[in-house]
Amino acid sequence: MTEEPVAGTRRNIDGVERVFYDGYWIKYYAPPADTLNAKRQLITALTRRLFNHVEHGINIPGARLKEARRAYEAESDPGLKRVKGAMLAGSLFNRATDIITKLVEIQALGVEIASDNGLLRECGRCLQEALSLGRLVLHRSGEEGIDELWGEPLHAFSIPVETFFESRYIKIASTLRDIDRLGEAIIEHFQGDADFAGLEPLVRGVTEAARQKTETLQTDDRIFEVWPAFVVASESLLKFRPVMRAAGSLEYGRLQEEGLRLIAQGQAIISDIARARTPMPKTTREYIERLGAYRCKFRQEARR
């Protein structure tokens, strides 16, 4: 039996340097030098990525932090307070990015910024408070929050850049595992039904493209091949239609339509996870439970 490589092992595979974590060989990107400017670029990119995946309306400028805090602290309605807390979290993130951006500009003038600088400490406090409020923020799908995304800028700020990159590979491996888990669940719950013959290769095409999308940075030229491949694979899956039975009941036809909706939901969840490069455990678990409930209903109707 071949022994599994140690986590962090790097190897050239088919001309691509990859690093091994949790059962996956993931495309490797060399981390930048651990400088204040590198952290600024990293935190800015992570903040932009965060707002790209969470609910609309919370990207509040850091300059409006006092207003956002007043609105949150004065609110008593639970629903409104959640949203206002999400807006406060957004403003805190932007304030942290503003601070570190200006510090890099000052550093570029030749001014040395010590690690115990007061503004750096304020930046860390803003990120820490934003992280504590991150539980109030939902993914754009409305399914659940993505706590991992809220913690990343704080981690990037507080640990060496190289260590941060290593932690990202661990999360990417978890993301790849959820993508595979979702794909296998779809295949398993529709397998054996002649009406859905031909579905499996379409699902596998989506999961393979999603894995490549997950491991590929937007700055990589390969993204111009990887993203179109994922879009086309997803479109092919969404165009799938089951074989219609001539003597099928109205209920049977309704269940086929429900199955198609479930397949579309699965594709959407895989897309959300691949784009965020972060697992969504609650969404994944609840979706697989829906697949199981559907499978029972479909089999009962098919036996009639």
Is pLDDT larger for residue 34 or for residue 224? 224
Do 178 and 298 belong together in one domain?
yes
Alpha carbon separation from 232 to 134, 209, 226 (Å, rounded): 34, 9, 10
pTM, to two decimals? 0.79
User: End of a domain among 159, 190, 219?
Assistant: 159
Q: What are 25's strand-pairing partners?
A: 20
Do 180 and 155 belong together in one domain?
no
Give the chain's domain count. Answer: 2
User: End of a domain among 159, 187, 210?
Assistant: 159
Q: What's the pLDDT at 302?
A: 60
Evaluate whether residue 99 is within a structural domain. yes
Do 115 and 203 belong together in one domain?
no
Q: Domain residues for 268?
A: 174-302
Q: Enumerate residues 6+ apart whose C-beta is below 8 A from 231.
A: none
pLDDT over threshold 70, residue 39: yes
Evaluate whether residue 26 is within a structural domain. no
pLDDT over threshold 90, residue 107: no
E strands, 166-289, in order: none
Do 180 and 248 belong together in one domain?
yes
Q: Enumerate residues 6+ apart whose C-beta is below 8 A from 240.
A: 198, 199, 202, 260, 263
Do 290 and 183 belong together in one domain?
yes
Do 41 and 150 belong together in one domain?
yes
Q: Which of 139-143, 195-199, 220-224, 293-297 has the highest mean pLDDT?
A: 220-224
Do 67 and 115 belong together in one domain?
yes
